[in-house]
């Protein structure tokens, strides 16, 4: 397989990249090189081209001449000659789009073999990929890295350059065969600002991370001394934050949260590592203002001797800070107003340090996957302080979160990333399959049903591969569509034929001929017509229900924490308010309010009908309360052995097969039972 990456911005080299030499020589280059190096380890990958723009600029060195090629094993670096030797910033690249497109296609045409796929990084590269697809028919993947529309929303203002960038992104998204996002927030919230991308073409594949130096971290004497000079009692647990001193990182909010909780102030010290400075006055305005605000808050709340904000650090000091916080029994906090991914959370996890993280953005995925800390609303100081107190004050919980760090290392490495990435490339480049009519449909819940036992899943996947030509695989889950897609891909589950997500409020079909998921608009329209979201939230607020993260809420579904509330009492309150809704409780913790007629049960029956199958040809499997209605409604249900929420004792489920085996083995046990008692 031949993969061609296009990345026009910055100073790209195969070794010794001069990171920071220009504003555009940063994280996307590191991502690209690490992805290419990891991809090259796969024997199925024969060649990798990295295509960038050549230039001559004495101030940047003479390592980037146009028209040259460098090579390192399977990886080739090609510098296009667009007829202009100047170095251009990302804001200036639009001037050369036409010439770069010509140079790119000319390069491709002189190759003995065309690439199987083009992967464009940032919108300017996407213009080249779009042109190559039009001229040569090569499919392309797009990774945005950062998006103009998100920047516009965050800043509350725009300009000509930004609007041009957004228009370019829209153009590239329109014809991209697939879009890779790093997190569910990027897939579901950030790309929601664009009109030319549908969710079915977005794949969430978390980037790999080099975490070995954090796994091996120790608290150095230098770091301990840098912190100790601020603190009266340096032996107390440390609440650690590491971030650039900009408003969106909410470091001042963390100081306020700490100061407002006297118990926490007495219990722990606060250490803020916020970049390097010789003098605050020399910093750019936003960084200067943020640091001055932190110092004012320390003075206002008389936190001297309890808060440290070191002036500088070397790159090698960062792992030591995590280790120091770990050795004191502390916690790492990321209080950002929005965190697109959350690399620092993975670094902390690898260092075996529990975390408290914003519930806005990528941390949702990390905490859900790794179980290494607590999510909080970044605008609620009491929630931030309470979570810190909860972890530091409960040694059993601290150890559990610290031990979960191994999950992060395993889940977010480049080998895991490239395994999913290469499978996606395979899907996009394979010949369109013969359209077949399935004779049966198996629909499984994900968490604690299909997933939860790796060996059982392996046995299930062997069975599924043998029966894939006659039995369609469906998923019915409380997870969102992109969350479901990401976890299934990470666990090696083949692309399902249908994903019923968000407790039945969305249905996506996998279109094999177009190699993408397509949302069922008819189902979406039915839900929208039965949903009054504002009224639902008003009743929930009157009951004091705590809302789950914003990503868990959508048309047809509002999600809350159950806390000490009784689901039946909540249902009566909604009835009294004149709202016809479905109430679903699960795991004694979660509560979903759904539009009337919505749920896994109705979605499964709808999907079967769309496939031309009778109910007797459908088997469903689940483990918890949000599977109850689905299991009740279908004539051939399976309750896996590790069930919860009293499913096994529910008289309305007396027709269900209750497996003795757990997780995916329980699914197989139930399938064999239904095979024995009669065809399904």
- The pLDDT of residue 432: 67
CATH number at residue 651: 3.40.50.1000
Residues 6+ apart with CB under 8 A from 261: 382, 385, 386, 389
Q: 406 with 371, same domain?
A: yes
Give the end of a domain, one of 179, 204, 229. 204
Residues 6+ apart with CB under 8 A from 177: 139, 140, 141, 201, 428, 515, 516
Q: How far apart are CA 548 and CA 541, in angstroms?
A: 13
Classify residue 615: in a domain, yes or no.
Answer: yes
Q: How far apart are CA 463 and CA 450, in angstroms?
A: 13
Q: 453 with 490, same domain?
A: yes
Q: 230 with 118, same domain?
A: no
- The pLDDT of residue 434: 58
Q: How far apart are CA 515 and CA 511, in angstroms?
A: 6
Handedness of CA 444, 447, 451, 452 (dihedral sign): negative
Q: 587 with 611, same domain?
A: no
Q: 590 with 504, same domain?
A: no
Classify residue 481: in a domain, yes or no.
Answer: yes
Strand partners, 270: 239, 307
Q: 369 with 257, same domain?
A: yes
- The pLDDT of residue 436: 65
CATH number at residue 557: 3.90.1070.10
Classify residue 460: in a domain, yes or no.
Answer: yes
Q: How far apart are CA 283 and CA 244, in angstroms?
A: 12
Classify residue 632: in a domain, yes or no.
Answer: yes
Mean pLDDT, each 10-residue run in order, the chain (680 residues): 97 91 88 96 97 95 94 97 95 96 98 97 97 98 93 84 95 98 91 95 92 92 95 97 91 98 98 88 86 96 97 89 97 91 91 94 86 93 97 97 85 90 94 74 97 97 95 96 94 96 96 92 93 95 89 92 91 93 88 92 96 95 94 96 94 96 98 86
- The pLDDT of residue 114: 98
Classify residue 209: in a domain, yes or no.
Answer: no
Give the end of a domain, one of 411, 443, 473. 411
Q: 60 with 121, same domain?
A: yes
Residues in the chain: 680
Q: 589 with 653, same domain?
A: no
Q: How far apart are CA 466 and CA 364, in angstroms?
A: 35
Q: 278 with 199, same domain?
A: no
Residue with tokens 């039009």: 134
Classify residue 422: in a domain, yes or no.
Answer: no
- The pLDDT of residue 56: 95
Q: 262 with 389, same domain?
A: yes
Classify residue 424: in a domain, yes or no.
Answer: no
> Which residue range(s) make up the domain with 546?
531-595
- Structural domain count, the chain: 4
pTM score, whole prediction = 0.85
Q: 323 with 264, same domain?
A: yes
Token pair for 625: 């309360």
Q: 222 with 301, same domain?
A: yes
CATH number at residue 169: 3.40.50.2000
Give the end of a domain, one of 171, 204, 237. 204
Classify residue 418: in a domain, yes or no.
Answer: no
């Amino acid at each position: 397989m031949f993969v061609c990456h296009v990345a026009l911005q910055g100073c790209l080299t195969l070794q010794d990249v001069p990171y920071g030499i220009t504003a555009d020589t940063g994280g996307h280059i590191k991502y690209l090189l690490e992805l290419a190096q990891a991809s090259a380890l796969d024997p199925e990958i024969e060649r990798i081209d990295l295509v960038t723009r050549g230039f001559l600029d004495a101030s940047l060195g003479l390592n980037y001449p146009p028209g040259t090629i460098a090579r390192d094993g399977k990886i080739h670096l090609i510098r296009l000659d667009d007829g202009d030797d100047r170095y251009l910033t990302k804001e200036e690249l639009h001037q050369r789009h036409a010439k770069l497109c010509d140079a790119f296609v000319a390069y491709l045409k002189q190759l003995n073999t065309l690439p199987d796929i083009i992967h464009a990084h940032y919108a300017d590269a996407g213009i080249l990929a779009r042109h190559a697809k039009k001229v040569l028919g090569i499919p392309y993947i797009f990774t945005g890295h950062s998006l103009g529309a998100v920047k516009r929303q965050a800043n509350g203002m725009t300009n000509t350059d930004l609007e041009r960038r957004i228009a370019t992104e829209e153009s590239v998204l329109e014809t991209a065969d697939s879009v890779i996002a790093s997190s569910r927030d990027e897939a579901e919230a950030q790309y929601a600002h664009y009109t030319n991308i549908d969710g079915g073409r977005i794949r969430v594949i978390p980037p790999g991370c080099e975490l070995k130096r954090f796994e091996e971290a120790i608290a150095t004497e230098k770091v301990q001394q840098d912190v100790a000079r601020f603190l009266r009692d340096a032996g107390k647990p440390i609440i650690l934050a590491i971030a650039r001193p900009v408003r969106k990182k909410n470091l001042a909010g963390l100081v306020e949260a700490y100061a407002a909780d006297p118990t926490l102030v007495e219990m722990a010290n606060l250490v803020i590592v916020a970049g390097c400075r010789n003098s605050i006055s020399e910093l750019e305005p936003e960084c200067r203002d943020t640091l001055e605000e932190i110092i004012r808050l320390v003075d206002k709340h008389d936190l001297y001797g309890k808060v440290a904000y070191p002036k500088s650090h070397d790159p090698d000091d960062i792992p030591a800070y995590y280790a120091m916080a770990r050795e004191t029994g502390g916690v790492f906090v990321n209080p950002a107003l929005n965190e697109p991914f959350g690399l620092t959370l993975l670094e902390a996890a690898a260092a075996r340090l529990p975390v408290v993280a914003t519930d806005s953005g990528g941390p949702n995925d990390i905490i859900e996957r790794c179980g290494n800390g607590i999510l909080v609303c970044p605008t609620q100081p009491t929630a931030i302080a309470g979570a810190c107190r909860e972890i530091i004050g409960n040694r059993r919980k601290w150890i559990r979160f610290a031990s979960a760090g191994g999950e992060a290392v395993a889940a977010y490495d480049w080998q895991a990333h490239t395994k999913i990435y290469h499978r996606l490339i395979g899907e996009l480049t394979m010949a369109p399959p013969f359209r077949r009519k399935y004779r049966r449909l198996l629909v499984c819940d994900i968490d604690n049903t299909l997933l939860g036992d790796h060996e059982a899943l392996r046995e299930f996947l062997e069975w599924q591969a043998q029966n894939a030509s006659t039995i369609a695989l469906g998923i019915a889950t409380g997870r969102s569509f992109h969350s479901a897609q990401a976890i299934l891909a990470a666990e090696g589950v083949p692309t399902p034929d249908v994903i019923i997500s968000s407790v039945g409020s969305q249905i996506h079909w996998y279109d094999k001929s177009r190699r993408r998921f397509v949302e069922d608009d008819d189902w979406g329209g039915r839900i929208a017509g039965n949903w009054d979201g504002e009224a639902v939230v008003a009743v929930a607020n009157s009951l004091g229900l705590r809302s789950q993260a914003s990503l868990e809420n959508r048309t047809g579904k509002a999600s809350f924490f159950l806390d000490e509330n009784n689901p039946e009492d909540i249902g009566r309150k909604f009835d009294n308010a004149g709202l016809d809704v479905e109430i679903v409780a699960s795991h004694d913790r979660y509560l979903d309010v759904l539009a009337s007629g919505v749920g896994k049960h109705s979605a499964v029956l709808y999907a079967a009908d769309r496939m031309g199958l009778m109910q007797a040809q459908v088997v469903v499997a689940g483990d918890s309360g949000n599977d109850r209605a689905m299991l009740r409604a279908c004539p051939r249900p399976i309750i896996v052995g590790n069930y919860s929420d009293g499913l096994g004792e529910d008289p309305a489920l007396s027709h269900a097969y209750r497996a003795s085996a757990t997780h995916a083995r329980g699914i197989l046990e139930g399938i064999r039972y239904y095979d024995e008692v009669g065809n399904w």
